Amino acid sequence: MAAPAPGALYHIYAGLTALAAPALRAYVSRRMRAAGVPDVRIAERFGAATAARPKGPLIWFHAVSVGEALSILGLVAELAERRPDAQFLITSVSHTSSKLVAERLPPRTRHQFAPLDTPGAVSAFLAHWRPALACFVESELWPRLIVECDRRGIPLALINARLSERSQRRWRRFAGTAAALIGRFSAIVAQTQAGADAVRALGADAARISVSGDLKAASPRLPVDDAALPALAAQIEGRRAWAAASTHPGEEAQVAKAHDRARLLILAPRHPERGADVAAALRDAGWTVAQRSKGEALSEETEIYLADTLGELGLWYTLCEVVFLGGSFEPIGGHNPFEPAQFGCAVLHGPHVTNFRETYAEMAGAGASREVADAAALRAALDALETPGPRGEMWAAALRFTEARQAIRTAVADRLLPLLPA
């Protein structure tokens, strides 16, 4: 079924983004410089590649931020094994995602910042990289990129697709444009049946839609620094350690309220650059804090170890048997529960988990996670998990839950491979 032609609204969007290109360029440059990105890499956002295009069919994955980018690394590795002639490009937007992806690149893979959805950037990007297949991750529907890929005959896939209720409402207001964009995808692989129904309602061909489950469940385990692990384990030995990971402003105070001075809390804010502010607030509240980014020692007196570093969550999930996952006390939408579950951690979370609603419901049903409404409920859950029996049951359930989902990656690869040239 051919996709409808882009309508008037698309052409208005295309015209406005063309006119706004200089202002967008200045704004993005300013933001990225402030984040510490060098100018040569900032230019990637305007279509100026900083790596040569390799020989062979190139599969391009666009993932906007950290979670999406990391979720596809296992898929890229499997595709690399199954298509030894293929090359891979991952694009993302955030500086954090670029650093983490660069540390974990699968074989024959490179990273670039994604081009702005402006005429010059999109044209230069596609002219240089000439992808054989373009894969957009989750809900990344950039109109010009989609239309220009289709115009050049580049097959499009939307993988790990999900649309929030807010996104669905927005796209329903522009039903014709949504159908023109979503109809250009040769394959759409949704996380859930609800996600599949949502994209079909927007105009996708039902024959092109399938349901795989969440790719994040089949991602490789987070890396663990084996050099740092023994010393940290020795410093923690004999103490009841738990972790609060990916916390946001407003959540650290609630986590601290749930903390017992007889325990050790490893606190890893979602954005490590907030470390100084978080440490000051905790010390003002009377806690003894050691800040990892400053090399402060984790001693017997330490009550909260502030893990304000990037890329070390695997360490904390190895050392802690119970994890509270942030972004859930505040209305953020929750963060990836598969990551701690893959380490056999008992997963606790607050009520605001719209980004992973189905996953958390399945995990709770399997006995692998537990919702806590507030600091008092978190404290009660931590006390209950002091007992080896309940804690061990949650560990085992968490491992069973993630192990049962490893086939998701293969199912997605099976949908993508036929779209590549032989």
Q: Could you give the residue numbers annotated as active site?
A: 68
Token match 């993932």: residue? 63
Number of other residues whose CB lies within 10 A of the CB of residue 420: 16
Token match 């996600």: residue? 195
Contact 89, 131 (CB under 8 A): yes
DSSP letter for each residue of 299-334: -TT-SEEE---SS-HHHHHHH-SEEEESSSSSSS--
Q: Which residues contact 373 (CB under 8 A, 6 or more apart)?
A: 350, 351
- Could you tell me the two tokens for 352? 């605001």
Give the C-alpha separation, 115 to 112, whole Å: 9
One-letter amino acid identity for 224? V
Tell me the CA distances in angstroms from 412 to 56, 62, 218, 273, 405, one per residue in order.
Answer: 21, 15, 11, 35, 12
Tell me the CA distances in angstroms from 361 to 55, 187, 282, 365, 381, one per residue in order.
Answer: 45, 27, 32, 6, 18
Closest C-alpha among 304, 241, 234, 315 to residue 275: 304
Give the C-alpha separation, 20 to 357, whole Å: 37
Four-point Cα dihedral 391, 392, 395, 397, nearest 10: -110
Q: Please measure the distance between the N-terminal and C-terminal CA atoms of the chain and give it in whole angstroms.
A: 23
| H or E element, residue 370 | strand 369-371
One-letter amino acid identity for 116? L
Q: Is 189 helix (H, G, I), strand (E, B) or coil?
A: strand
